[in-house]
Amino acid sequence: MTLNSFATLLALLTTTGTEPRPDHQLEALTLAVAADLPVLLWGEPGIGKTATLHQLADGLGLPLTTVIASVHEPSDFTGLPVVGDDPATQGVPMAPPDWAVRLVRAGHGLLFLDELSTAPPAVQAALLRVVLERRVGALTLPPGVRIVAAANPRSSAADGWELSAPLANRFVHLQWTFDHDVVIRGLGGVWPRALLPRLDSDRLGESVALARRAVCGFLEARPPLVHRLPDGEARRGGPWPSPRSWDMTLRLLAFATAAGVSREVLSMLVRGTVGDGPGLELLAFLDRLDLPDPETLLADPAAAELPERGDLRQAALDGVVDAVRRRPERSRWDAAWAVLARALETGAPDLVVVPASTLAALRRDDWEIPDTIERLAPVATIRRRVGATR
């Protein structure tokens, strides 16, 4: 038995393939990287965060540069002072480390900052400019460099530290967990393939407009969420709302819209940028933005296009009834019944009952009961409600 045989066996064990496979975590990570935002993967040790980054770099065609943050000094990121011929006139430049020089020479790459939660506060402070400004010593990393970091929760990190609030607020935080089927398939030699999202070129302008309208409209309605620093130190080490993180959210929303990603992926990205509470509120606000204008529905009930999702359809019908309540007129009341009839034709009957009962209560004494009610279900209940309001 020769060493060549051992090398051959090792090579066979480490040779794996990839396949297109739905993976919301990987899709969220890839989209955030494509949007040129720093990403921080949180997960327990041994679940494949580092392996994911190797596979991501291969899939995107980027050279991977791994830096273990916890074993470096602050000067490894801020640069070491190098005294020149005449410091009084030329100053003292800060010499960057070799890995930064290699990234600049390559012009592109994936910088992987591993073990971030075991880096002491002084190193975390030195990383601030690296993550946000892409500055390492006297060098500026080229636009083709993307930054991804990984960290273990403090409870499972060796000599772990809480992430500082300024550093945490510079990342899109993604909770990384393992999927049983993905692990089994991967150990069998085939892992999910990381692909850049495909953007719809016809929707780029529309995507930016929607993202700006959604984020600005939401923050106008919820001013306290423009900046909210969490109380506890542990929570400050995660995602929280600030003007910086809202700017990242806007960018992610535009990319997600242009790429047509799923609701699950969008939720992961938004909550990973501004936190669970504000993120879920923004998603609910987005749903309301997608609702049809009640006045448009009242103007042409026969052509009404109602949402497919039950909760959104219910909200749209409630909006129509509320529009009649704000400006009660006989023609608008009749039109609202026609919208409800349209909803009955295209969706579940139970969604019509509550708005129909509310609409019936808005009837004035001199308004005749429209024939449209005959098409609604349950007809008898609605008729009794209309009669009771006379």
Mean pLDDT, range 148-175, rounded to an integer:
85
**In contact, 97 and 139? CB cutoff 8 Å:** no
The reported pLDDT for the residue numbered 83 is 65
End residue of a domain, out of 192, 216, 240: 192
* 16 or 252, which is more confident: 252
Q: Give the Cα separation of 222 and 254 in Å (integer).
A: 21
The reported pLDDT for the residue numbered 384 is 54
Mean pLDDT, range 166-192, rounded to an integer:
90
Same domain, 164 and 241: no
The reported pLDDT for the residue numbered 5 is 86
| Residue 245 resides in a domain | yes
Same domain, 252 and 127: no
Q: Give the Cα separation of 285 and 217 in Å (integer).
A: 9
Cα angle: 282, vertex 287, 288; to 5 degrees = 95
Mean pLDDT, range 138-153, rounded to an integer:
91
The reported pLDDT for the residue numbered 368 is 87
pLDDT in tens, 98-136: 899 999 999 999 999 998 888 888 999 999 999 988 999
β-pairing, 80-81 with 17-19?
unpaired
Q: What pLDDT band is residue 196 in, cutting at 50, 70 and 90?
A: confident
Q: Give the Cα separation of 92 and 285 in Å (integer).
A: 51
| Residue 170 resides in a domain | yes
Same domain, 181 and 34: yes
Q: What 3-state DSSP class applies to 329?
A: coil
Residues in a beta bridge with 64? 110
End residue of a domain, out of 260, 289, 318: 289
The reported pLDDT for the residue numbered 380 is 44
pLDDT at residue 309 greater than cutoff 90? no
Same domain, 316 and 332: yes
The reported pLDDT for the residue numbered 103 is 93
The reported pLDDT for the residue numbered 379 is 45
Same domain, 278 and 298: no
Among all chains, which residue has been given the structure tokens 């989209």?
A: 31
Q: What pLDDT band is residue 266 in, cutting at 50, 70 and 90?
A: very high
Mean pLDDT, range 198-202, rounded to an integer:
90
The reported pLDDT for the residue numbered 88 is 60
| Residue 12 resides in a domain | no
The reported pLDDT for the residue numbered 91 is 64
Same domain, 341 and 316: yes
Q: What 3-state DSSP class applies to 246?
A: helix
The reported pLDDT for the residue numbered 46 is 82
Q: Which domain holds residue 299?
A: 294-388
To the nearest whole percent, how much of the chain has pLDDT over 70?
A: 91
The reported pLDDT for the residue numbered 159 is 63
How many domains, the chain? 3
Same domain, 177 and 250: no
| Residue 45 resides in a domain | yes
pLDDT at residue 94 greater than cutoff 80? no
The reported pLDDT for the residue numbered 273 is 98
- Number of Cβ atoms within 10 Å of the Cβ of 29: 24
β-pairing, 39-42 with 144-151?
parallel
Residue 328 Ramachandran class (φ > 0 left, ψ -120 to 50 alpha, else beta): beta
Among all chains, which residue has been given the structure tokens 């999202």?
A: 197
Full-model pTM: 0.78
Same domain, 229 and 144: no
Same domain, 383 and 355: yes
The reported pLDDT for the residue numbered 168 is 94
| Residue 57 resides in a domain | yes
| Residue 7 resides in a domain | no
Mean pLDDT, range 242-251, rounded to an integer:
97
pLDDT at residue 363 greater than cutoff 80? yes
The reported pLDDT for the residue numbered 14 is 83
- Range of weakest confidence among 23-32, 152-161, 306-315, 359-368: 152-161
**In contact, 352 and 382? CB cutoff 8 Å:** no
Same domain, 274 and 329: no
| Residue 2 resides in a domain | no
Q: What 3-state DSSP class applies to 320?
A: helix
Length of the chain: 390
* 275 or 154, which is more confident: 275
- Start-to-end Cα distance in the chain: 98
Here the tokens at position 252 are 């992610």
pLDDT at residue 1 greater than cutoff 90? no
Same domain, 188 and 329: no
pLDDT at residue 242 greater than cutoff 50? yes
Question: Mean pLDDT in the chain?
Answer: 87
Residues in a beta bridge with 111? 65, 147
The reported pLDDT for the residue numbered 299 is 92
| Residue 302 resides in a domain | yes
pLDDT at residue 73 greater than cutoff 70? yes
Q: What pLDDT band is residue 278 in, cutting at 50, 70 and 90?
A: very high
Same domain, 61 and 177: yes
Asked, as a colleague might, if the bond just before 378 is cis with ω within 30 of 0, I would say yes
Residues in a beta bridge with 148? 39, 112
Question: What's the Cα-to-Cα distance from 221 to each of 40, 163, 292, rounded to whole Å?
Answer: 29, 30, 20
Q: Give the Cα separation of 125 and 378 in Å (integer).
A: 65
End residue of a domain, out of 169, 192, 215: 192
